[in-house]
Chain A
């Protein structure tokens, strides 16, 4: 069973990425934060995390499952919260942060999930396949198309 210190370490290491992932799934940072907290507290009580083969992937999958139980996730297009910031941008470029946030939300959910898991969650495609219950090839394909579209969106906005 994972001791409390280990749970805390995992939270500190992956908490931000888990909240970001949850936010991109459900569109609201507050709900994502709550879901992540609930997942960790549940693991603390049950000790299920110790039985997981891959703790990191298991955490992302648990957060996703937690959020999928929420009714709001049924909406495919998530409304953007204008004041909600997801990232700490380089050089405090908040317009770039908003640009990235808007572009991510214009992707479909499948592509957005894979992008966030791979880039900020730092999961491999095999791990992403476990989290999303898809094949590794599907994960890689979604990532490729997602990155391409994201770049187009961000670059087109910057040109304007």
Chain B
């Protein structure tokens, strides 16, 4: 067959080693630049959320009690002016005074009742 070493070598070199897979360099060269991309993404999301929350607070303003959205009974001290304004246009003085002292049910937000209304329903035996 191939007795000469050089000839045998030439024969062997005809067998080409199969090509190696492509070196994944592009992924590796990019990786150092965006090494901590996940950290940046997290920081960005956190900042965005903080901005959204702060903007929402600014729009809403300070929270007000629920009952203030509706016409709540005026709890401020009764002044002479307020009393005159309530009594004079009223058809009856007695009902006007009652209205000032004991606000009607309609002035309370849904679900709330005046103490007078609750007591009025109770049947107490004296």
Identify the A interface with B (CB < 8 A).
4, 7-8, 11, 15-20, 33, 36-37, 40-41, 44-45, 85-90, 96-97, 100, 119-120, 147, 151, 154-155, 158
Contacts and interface: CB of A to CB of B under 8 A. Distances in A.
B18 A151 contact: no
Contact of B5 (A16, A18, A147): A147
A45 B32 CA distance: 9
A158 B17 contact: no
A11 B20 CA distance: 9
B17 A86 contact: yes
Interface of B: 1-2, 5, 8-9, 12-21, 23-25, 28-29, 32
The 3 closest A-B pairs by CB, nearest first: A15-B20, A20-B17, A87-B15
A16 B13 contact: no
26 contacts: A7-B25, A15-B19, A15-B20, A15-B23, A16-B16, A16-B18, A16-B19, A19-B17, A37-B21, A37-B23, A37-B24, A44-B25, A44-B28, A44-B29, A45-B28, A86-B18, A87-B18, A88-B17, A97-B15, A100-B12, A119-B13, A120-B12, A120-B17, A147-B5, A147-B9, A155-B1
A151 B2 contact: yes
A147 B8 contact: yes
Contacts of B15: 87-90, 96-97, 100
A33 B20 contact: yes
Contact of A36 (B12, B18, B20, B25): B20
A3 B24 CA distance: 15
Contacts of A41: 23-25, 28
A4 B28 CA distance: 10
Contact of B18 (A4, A40, A88, A100): A88
Contacts of B25: 4, 7-8, 40-41, 44
B20 A19 contact: yes
A8 B29 CA distance: 12
A121 B123 CA distance: 110
Given A100-B12, A119-B12, A120-B13, A85 B18 contact: yes
Nearest to A20: B17
Contacts of A88: 15-18
A15 B15 CA distance: 15
